[in-house]
Amino acid sequence: MAKRRSVRRQISDEILFLSNHTCCICRIAGKDVQIHHIDGNRAHNDLSNLVVVCLDCHSRVTGTGGLGKAYSQGEVRRYKRAWEQYVRETRGTHQPRVRYKTQLISSVDLIVCEILALRRGNPRAKELLNTLYELHLWRGSPRIDRAIIEGLGHLALMTGLSYPQLAGPVAEKLWEMCFHFVGPDDVPMNRRGEQQVLSCVDALDTLAQFNCEFGHGRRAMRDIVKTAANLFEISLWYSRKRLANALLRTYSKALAACAPEGKLEFREGHAALRRSLRALDGLVREERPGWRNQRRRIGVLLGHRASPDRRPKPALRNTGGRG
């Protein structure tokens, strides 16, 4: 059992600020609120795992109050993303001038170079990655976000060459760069937004292949698969087949990297990818039943060569008692 850790004051202040000290579910200002761990692990105090809820909604999140069905973790994450995005937009975050943007892009390059210069296992690497995300959160613009994703792509490349411990944290940051796409009803996605997600998928592709071929990190694989599944959900929410196809190519390449020339060398990674694909197959069937090509591709990756829409063969007609 994970040892319980209290949410540090600095993190607590940050998550309350991001949520405007308001429950992300009911959004009623002035109510008493609590900080909830989405995955139920009280030792997991990353901002992405913390959400602000009021006492009433907290009982529905944990499922301990009443007989109704509790909110799932996926639902809570969507409420969190939608509310934090709304708070950010209503505050009207100041966008920096062009000259200042150029300085920020240079800062991104310096941060990436500093991460690459650190020795393995240095905790400052995660702190610097969080700094990159904060630049996106508070000073984000298309140019700055492109620079951050490009930097994460460079780091993804290095995880396979000299820094495998960085694979999981980089995967998490790639997901956070797309965190604000909570659904078309709350945040529209234009062509530029789609390209941003595709750029993250491209970096994740590199990350997955290198981890499967060289790193063989089990924890990193869990983070990589989790990010891939989250990005695939975005493709479902926005009905973007282009995103879904790009992610399925990532799964295909990663599966091949786990078993080069048919020899299974990274069994845990291969199993994690297949579990994720089975879950995605269920999501596609439920949310986008018309996506037959994508379902067929998932079936092929899982080893089922026949179409997912196979129908039972009709019974033979009675031809007069022959045979």
Residue 2: what pLDDT? Answer: 40
Same domain, 153 and 189: yes
Residue 322: what pLDDT? Answer: 39
Say if 312 falls within a structural domain. Answer: no
pLDDT exceeds 70 at position 110: yes
Q: What is the pLDDT of residues 57-100, one digit of tens each?
A: 888 888 655 555 778 888 888 889 888 888 877 765 444 444 44
Q: What is the pLDDT of residues 214-224, one digit of tens each?
A: 888 899 999 99
Q: Other CB atoms closer than 10 Å to residue 151's CB: what's the count?
A: 24
Q: What is the pLDDT of residues 135-151, one digit of tens each?
A: 887 766 888 899 999 99
Residue 161: what pLDDT? Answer: 64
- The Cα 124–Cα 89 span in angstroms is 30
Residue 6: what pLDDT? Answer: 57
- Between residues 10 and 125, the one the model is more confident about: 125
Same domain, 37 and 109: no
Same domain, 146 and 284: yes
- Between residues 275 and 43, the one the model is more confident about: 275
> What's 260's domain CATH number?
1.25.10
Say if 319 falls within a structural domain. Answer: no
Same domain, 248 and 283: yes
Q: Helices (DSSP H) in 266-317: which residue ranges?
A: 267-287, 292-301
- The Cα 71–Cα 112 span in angstroms is 38
How much is the average pLDDT of 277-291?
95
Three-state DSSP string of 97-134: CHHHHHHHHHHHHHHHHHHHHCCCCCCHHHHHHHHHHH
Say if 322 falls within a structural domain. Answer: no
Same domain, 202 and 279: yes
Same domain, 84 and 141: no
Encoded tokens for 125? 């690497």
Say if 307 falls within a structural domain. Answer: no
How much is the average pLDDT of 102-108?
74
Same domain, 252 and 277: yes
Residue 320: what pLDDT? Answer: 45
Domain boundary among 90, 114, 144: 90
Same domain, 116 and 81: no
Say if 318 falls within a structural domain. Answer: no
Q: What is the pLDDT of residues 169-226, one digit of tens each?
A: 999 999 999 988 888 888 899 999 999 999 999 999 999 999 999 888 899 999 999 9
Residue 170: what pLDDT? Answer: 95
Greatest alpha-carbon pair distance for the chain in Å reads: 88
Same domain, 59 and 161: no
- Between residues 202 and 163, the one the model is more confident about: 202
Tell me, yes or no, if the pTM score tops 0.85. no
Mean pLDDT value across the chain: 84
Residue 193: what pLDDT? Answer: 93
Answer for the pair 111, 128: CB distance below 8 angstroms, yes or no.
yes
pLDDT exceeds 50 at position 323: no
Answer for the pair 169, 129: CB distance below 8 angstroms, yes or no.
yes
Question: Dihedral of CA 66/69/70/75: which sign?
Answer: negative
For residue 231, name the pLDDT band (cuts at 50, 70, 90): very high
Across the strands, what pairs with 198?
A: none
Q: Residue 7 in 3-state DSSP?
A: coil
Structural domain for 193, as ranges: 98-301
What stretch of H or E contains 50? Answer: strand 50-54
- Between residues 318 and 258, the one the model is more confident about: 258
- The Cα 36–Cα 41 span in angstroms is 10
Helix 142-161 to helix 124-139 angle (10° resolution) is 160
Say if 311 falls within a structural domain. Answer: no
- Ramachandran bin of 59, using left for φ above 0, alpha for ψ from -120 to 50, beta for the remaining angles: alpha
pLDDT exceeds 70 at position 315: no
CA distances for 241 relative to 168, 234, 291, angstroms: 26, 10, 8
**What is the total count of domains within the chain?**
2
- The Cα 37–Cα 17 span in angstroms is 17
Residue 68: what pLDDT? Answer: 59
Same domain, 37 and 105: no
Say if 2 falls within a structural domain. Answer: no
Same domain, 169 and 277: yes
Same domain, 117 and 220: yes
Residue 123: what pLDDT? Answer: 84
> Quick one: which of 256, 251, 263, 266 has its CA closest to 299?
251
